[in-house]
Amino acid sequence: MNKSSTTLRWFPAFMATGTLLLVAVLMLGVQLSTENTELVVHFAASERWHLILFGAVLVFLVQLFRNPISAFWQRTKKHNPLPQVQLPSLNDNKSLKRLLISFAVAGLMVWPFFVSRGAVDLATLALIYVMLGLGLNVVVGLAGLLDLGYVGFYAVGAYSYALLSQYFGLDFWSCLLIGGVMVAFFGFILGFPVLRLRGDYLAIVTLGFGEIIRILLNNWTSITGGPNGISQIPKPTLFGLEFSRRAKEDGNVPFHEFFGIDYSSGYKVIFLYILALLLVLLTLYIINRLLRMPIGRAWEALREDDIACRSLGLNPTAIKLSAFTIGAAFAGFAGTFFAARQGFISPESFTFIESAIILAIVVLGGMGSQMGVILAAVIMTVLPEFAREFQEYRMLMFGLMMVLMMMWRPEGLMPMKRPYLKLKKHQSDKDNASVNRQPIAESV
């Protein structure tokens, strides 16, 4: 046994415990409040002090004995290796893969009819973030362009529906298309000035862009209503059927009357959920196709090495612009849907923290990985709901989660898998026969 595994770590132990005490005592142990005109310090109850003390002792001991503990852990792992479970590969079994996907989709479609309204609502929110995450994944994960102003596109999508319906009375479905196209155009426009930038510089410019959009919406009161936002945005309709108790326009029949069932506000929630699910499925399909198309491969190539791209005749400008445009279009769809679901939007919903959360979803899930992004989006939206009691510590927990992720799984929850492309067998045989093999091929 080497020496490092038995030495006690006195210094780190004291440091860690000191830090813990400093933070815990200030945050949990004492509280300031004003009584009349004086500031009064309240001390917490004794059981909380016991908890803090217990935590401090625990941290001290773990830090002190970290080397022996990890050595012990390594040894047990070596002696009793965990059984490796090999799941059957889905790549070889296309029909099984299709079957599983259709089951999953069917399950997700039926699921909302059996659970509470709140759960469906939360799931809808999660789906919006899935859409945003998948869109940003195109820009950041695939094309490698760090975009910190993604929420700007989201805002443009939301506001384009809100304004178009307010001023021109357009309905959700046409706005979904117009919004998508409009935001794609915005992405294209933003793409131009940032074409020459890379990495950090690009991040700063896009960050500025996101803020400009928000500030513009906040101050252009005559059109956007400023901080008051826009309310009474119409909900989506199902082939013209509304989900309200009474039809807003004359001659329209609400959904429940058309089918002769009792009115329930739950229908609307379920309808919105299914709509979001369909949008996510569409997004997934499109991105999956893009990945297997020349354009998707070019994005990744650009991320890997733009100089090599140029040397092979790929135009980096066009590739960057297409990534920006297509990534933005998905934010446009998500934004339009968001506005329709909320019925009310204001610049408050499009602050930088939203961009940060979407980016966190992409990084947490694994750059470029679609399943990872979906998983991370669900975690990031559902977890805060379950941890309501820790509301104030939400950002602290996000930060902690990010730090832990970067330490243990820097490549994300589910790192991107390369698409496996099969070379046709007979084809290479044919080549072998027709081309006289060069010595270079034999030496491998």
Q: Is 442 in the site for another protein (CB under 8 A)?
A: yes
Q: Is 385 in the site for another protein (CB under 8 A)?
A: no
The pair of structure tokens assigned to 338 is 């968001």
Q: Is 409 in the site for another protein (CB under 8 A)?
A: no
Nearer to another protein, 3 or 418 (CB): 418
Nearer to another protein, 325 or 346 (CB): 325
Nearer to another protein, 192 or 393 (CB): 192
The pair of structure tokens assigned to 212 is 């400009």
The stretch among 227-235, 246-254, 287-295, 334-342 that binds another protein (CB under 8 A) is 287-295
The stretch among 17-25, 159-167, 216-224, 291-299 that binds another protein (CB under 8 A) is 291-299
Question: Nearest approach, Cβ of 420 to another protein (angstroms)?
Answer: 5
Nearer to another protein, 214 or 303 (CB): 303
Q: Are 335 and 161 in contact (CB under 8 A)?
A: yes
The stretch among 188-196, 216-224, 234-242, 435-443 that binds another protein (CB under 8 A) is 435-443
Nearer to another protein, 87 or 435 (CB): 435
Among the listed residues 64, 164, 290, 362, the single contact to another protein using CB under 8 A = 290
Question: Nearest approach, Cβ of 135 to another protein (angstroms)?
Answer: 16
Stretch 298-317 residues interacting with another protein (CB under 8 A): 298, 300-301, 303-305, 307-316
Q: Is 441 in the site for another protein (CB under 8 A)?
A: yes
**199-219 helix and 352-365 helix, angle to the nearest 10 degrees:** 140
Question: Nearest approach, Cβ of 368 to another protein (angstroms)?
Answer: 9
Buried b (16+ CB within 10 A) or exposed e, 30-44: eeeeeeeeeeeeeee
Q: Is 426 in the site for another protein (CB under 8 A)?
A: no
**94-110 helix and 265-291 helix, angle to the nearest 10 degrees:** 160
Q: Is 295 in the site for another protein (CB under 8 A)?
A: yes
The stretch among 99-107, 198-206, 351-359, 428-436 that binds another protein (CB under 8 A) is 428-436
Q: Is 433 in the site for another protein (CB under 8 A)?
A: no
CA distance 283 to 331: 11
Give Rg (Cα) of the chain: 27
Question: Nearest approach, Cβ of 128 to another protein (angstroms)?
Answer: 23
Nearer to another protein, 83 or 439 (CB): 439
Among the listed residues 12, 208, 227, 294, the single contact to another protein using CB under 8 A = 294
Q: Are 235 and 243 in contact (CB under 8 A)?
A: yes
The pair of structure tokens assigned to 345 is 């939007």
The stretch among 223-231, 240-248, 273-281, 289-297 that binds another protein (CB under 8 A) is 289-297
Chain residues binding another protein by CB under 8 A are: 286, 289-290, 292-295, 297-298, 300-301, 303-305, 307-316, 418-421, 423-424, 427-428, 431-432, 435, 438-444
